[in-house]
Amino acid sequence: MHRLQTVALAALLSNSASAVPYAEYILAPSQRDLSPVNVYRTNGTVINAAGVTTSGSGSTIFNSVSAVTYDYTKNIGGLVSFIVSSSSDSEQYLGISFTESSMWISPDGSDATQNIAIDETLWFRITGPGNYSVEPLHDRGAFRYLNVYHNTTGNVTLSHLQTYFTAMPHFPDDGLREYTGYFHSNDEKLNRVWYAGAYTDQLCTIPSTSGNSLVDLDATDPNMPTVWWSNSTLTNGSSAFTDGPKRDKLIWPGDFAISVPGVFLSTDDAITVKLSLQQLFASQNTTTGALPWFAQPVYAFPENGFLNLGKVVFSFNYHLFTLLGLHNYWIYTGDDEYLQNNWNRFKLGLNYSLSFVDETGLANVTSSFDWLREGMGGHNIEANSILKHTLDVAVTLAYAVNDTSHIESWTNASTAIASAANILLWNDTASLYKDNDTTTSLHPQDGNVWSIISGIASANQSTAISAALAARWGPYGAPAPEAGTTVSPFITGFELQAHYLAGQPQRAIDLMRFMWADFMLDDPRMTNSTYIEGYDVSGALHYPAYADDARISHSHGWSSGPVLALSTFAAGLHVLNKTSWVAHPQPGNLTEVEAGFEVGYGSFAAEYLVTAEGVKYTFSTPAGTKGSLILDAPGCKGKISIVGSNTAGDGKVQRTEHGGGRDKGFHWNKQVENQEASSSPWKCGVWGPSPASQRSASDSTITIDGLAGGNYTVEITCA
């Protein structure tokens, strides 16, 4: 029997912690009181520095000017406290500082949350034995290294040092590892990549009351550590889904376009997504329909320039990301009421976007604000691709709320964007779209990956774009030339989807392996647990958009794109809405891929296995749903057989046959011949992209529609 049936499905039906499949990969802690794991470095005279770590025992004595840098071995976040058992006198001081990357370890401050310098050290005057804790406004949302600095003569003895983990505040203290989703493959790098993405999203889920206050944003002295507080309130609930737990600790809609699906595919944390989305909609200008660049906090004091800027800035794309966020929330919750409640806001917002469309059929973007790329304006390909995609999404949502009045105009606008973009922006020599109609040299990453996601690019163009993008990869990742020398894991997360959609799963897998695993996890400057927001093509941890390298966030939800890529594309579990799905495995050269997740309306699971005879793909979808199975044509002569049964809500097997008949189960058989077997690089039974020449040909995939939710086994055996 397959692990899918014996372990994974059993786990999905049970609430017991031990049953979470592949829990050994989960990085979230099993409880909230966390002691450091290791001593990274000691300065000066410290006796038994490791005493307060998980592996140590006994007290730690700081003698004269000395410091210990403790290593949690992964990114964590929360409130630090310690117990002093003795001190030489009542005029001792201990200073606490934090950093995500080892690059910023310093007794003089933490890595940065403002635009300049580093964040100030938190000083404690040690008057004698007792418990000392940071104030709640100093909840440090993400750090791996914790530095304790003793700056005086005399001594201080610590008997305990801990961080109270504050992420996922609304989950039970012992429930942080209760994932509803899992992923596993024969590639250990990808397994780590998936779980680090899920954990990144967890760390980004912070207590609603520990939002950024950006209090020292106007600081100008690069040598003067800045004041930092985390005490604004972000949502009308207990949690908030932010861009990053160190900073900005604000609700940014970019994340709703890519990491929100990852949240559902790993922890199904619907309430946080809903509260955060609500705050984005609450900041909508009800006259124009404009949605904010980022959500205004519910309460922040004092006000600051950045929050005020957020009230007036309009970003064409971030506006659309909030609309796409509503769609993503609806897909995985089936919450029709919430969709209905926000439908007028959605329409108002979409109409505002359409007001930028000119006689060419394309939107002319007049605001430069985007994901901190350059040259965002005019008939921009990224903006128009995202607008087309949002229009197509709007049509599906309109059917769901039975408001069909705009469907024709939205459909026409979508078609017009696609044809205008292909006339004005496609460069056949480069096999890429150019950034806008006034540039000849810049072919952006963002617009090209979105042209595939939106369907502006045809199948043949998608194949060509996928190859052209891959040809630009550097040793540390996929470049985003529209942002100087940036590598953007945010945009590259969309690039992963683009390669899958272009029928090139191996490119997505290769990119996840060398960019996310080899660099973003394994480089020693990283946290080996959460994903950095951006860096330089040279591998320098310099994000070209920022002057201050210490400011870079090493835990950014927008970099967690592989969670969606692996569960949805590699394992093939595409959820369209609460009643509809597509199963389409794209494993590339992986020989085992397994994923599953549970959302409010049911559970999904799939397993792909290369066997001695060929390939076996088993999948399971909720009773009462409907879907399609898509198989990439196998690179061999052989036989495909599909056996399935759909289960009724009562758990009884309800035997049906595809296309009519009863009491026979579902059976489907097909003989396949690969016309280009000799030129195909794919071994018998290993699925993969068909040769490029066949991509748009009808025989490059096999589609079986109208499958009822249930359990299916697909076997491909080679002749």
Label residue 651 left, alpha or beta by phi (over 0 means left) and psi (-120 to 50 means alpha). Answer: left
Residue type, 194: W
Out of 6, 288, 404, 419, point to the residue binding ligand NAG (CB under 6 A).
Answer: 288
Looking up tokens 């992963």, which residue turns up? 496
Give CA 16 to chain center in angstroms: 26
Between 106 and 711, CB nearer to ligand NAG:
106
Q: Does 379 bind ligand NAG (CB under 6 A)?
A: yes
b/e string for 50-73 if b means 16 or more Cβ within 10 A?
bbbbeebeebbbbbeebbbbbbbb
Residue 426, classed as helix, strand or coil, is strand
Q: Tell me which stretch binds ligand NAG (CB under 6 A): 263-271, 432-440, 560-568, 674-682.
A: 432-440
3-state secondary structure at position 5: helix
- Euclidean distance between CA atoms 619 and 631, whole angstroms: 13
Please tell me whether residue 656 adopts helix, strand or coil conformation.
strand
For the bound state, the minimum distance from the C-beta of residue 550 to ligand NAG, rounded and expressed in Å, comes to 14
Site for ligand NAG in 463-492 (CB under 6 A): 482
Q: Which is nearer to ligand NAG, 331 or 716 (CB)?
A: 331
User: Is 377 a binder of ligand NAG (CB under 6 A)?
Assistant: yes
Considering only the stretches 282-290, 457-465, 603-611, 653-661, report the one whose residues sit in contact with ligand NAG under the rule CB under 6 A.
282-290
Q: How far is the CB of 8 from ligand NAG (least distance, A)?
A: 21
In the set 60, 101, 106, 259, which binds ligand NAG (CB under 6 A)? 106
Query: Which residue lies nearer to ligand NAG by CB, 137 or 354?
Result: 137
Q: Please state at what angle helix 270-282 crosses helix 316-333, rounded to 10 degrees.
A: 150
* Pairwise CA distance, residues 257 & 234, whole Å: 19
The Cα 207–Cα 186 span in angstroms is: 36
Instruction: Please spell the DSSP secondary structure of 616-647, one letter per residue.
Output: EEEEE--TT-EEEEEEEPPSSSEEEEEEEEEE
Pick the closer one to ligand NAG by CB: 46 or 498: 46
Tell me, residue by residue from 317 to 336, as one string, x for binding to ligand NAG by CB under 6 A and - for no binding: -------------------x
Ramachandran angles phi, psi of 513, nearest 5°: -65, -50
Side-chain-side CA neighbours of 325 within 13 Å: the count stands at 33
The stretch among 298-306, 533-541, 592-600, 694-702 that binds ligand NAG (CB under 6 A) is: 298-306
Lay out the site mask for ligand NAG across 493-532 (x = CB under 6 A, - = otherwise).
Answer: -------------x---x-----------------x----
The reply on whether position 440 binds ligand NAG by CB under 6 A is yes
Joined tokens for residue 421: 């973009």
Q: How far is the CB of 650 from ligand NAG (least distance, A)?
A: 23
Q: How far apart are CA 241 and CA 252, in angstroms?
A: 9
Size of the site for ligand NAG (CB under 6 A): 62
Least Å distance between CB 353 and ligand NAG? 15
Q: Which of residues 218-247 bind ligand NAG (CB under 6 A)?
A: 229, 231-232
Q: Could you give the CA distance from residue 385 to residue 672 in angstroms, rounded to a whole number? A: 37
Contact 384, 421 (CB under 8 A): yes
Q: Does the footprint of ligand NAG cover residue 375 (CB under 6 A)?
A: yes
Binds ligand NAG by CB under 6 A, chosen from 5, 85, 460, 580: 580
Q: State the minimum distance, in angstroms, from the CB of residue 21 to ligand NAG.
A: 17
- Compute the distance between CA of residue 601 and CA of residue 326 in angstroms, rounded to an integer: 17
Q: Does 366 sit near ligand NAG (CB under 6 A)? A: yes
The region, left, alpha or beta by phi > 0 then psi within -120 to 50, assigned to residue 587 is alpha
The answer for residues whose C-beta is within 8 angstroms of residue 490's C-beta and 6 or more apart is 254, 258, 371, 533, 534, 556, 558, 559, 561
Q: Which residue is nearest to ligand NAG (CB)?
A: 377
For position 458 contacting ligand NAG by CB under 6 A, the verdict is no
Taking the complex as a whole, the smallest distance from the CB of residue 428 to ligand NAG amounts, in Å, to 8
- The CA–CA distances, whole Å, from 332 to 204, 260, 657 equal 19, 10, 28
Out of 175, 378, 484, 624, the residue judged to bind ligand NAG by CB under 6 A:
378
Closest approach of ligand NAG to the CB of residue 597, in Å = 18
CA distance 481 to 262: 26
User: Token pair for residue 495?
Assistant: 């690039």
- In the list 8, 36, 50, 69, the residue contacting ligand NAG (rule: CB under 6 A) is 69
Which is nearer to ligand NAG, 11 or 331 (by Cβ)?
Answer: 331
Interface pattern 633-672 for ligand NAG (x via CB under 6 A): ----------------------------------------
- Shortest Cβ distance from residue 717 to ligand NAG (Å)? 21
Out of 53, 239, 577, 690, the only residue in the binding site for ligand NAG (CB under 6 A) is 577
285 binds ligand NAG (CB under 6 A): yes
The least CB distance from residue 664 to ligand NAG, in Å, is 26
Is 340 a residue that touches ligand NAG (CB under 6 A)? yes
Min separation Cβ 441 and ligand NAG, Å: 6
DSSP strands (E only) in 368-511: 426-427, 432-433, 479-480, 486-487
CB contact at 8 A, 717 and 639: yes
Residue numbers at the binding site for ligand NAG (CB under 6 A): 43, 61, 63, 67, 69, 88, 93, 105-107, 123, 137, 147, 149, 151-152, 154-155, 192, 213, 229, 231-232, 285, 287-288, 299-301, 336, 340, 358, 364, 366, 375, 377-379, 396, 399-402, 427, 429-430, 434-436, 438-440, 442, 482, 506, 510, 528, 576-577, 579-580, 589
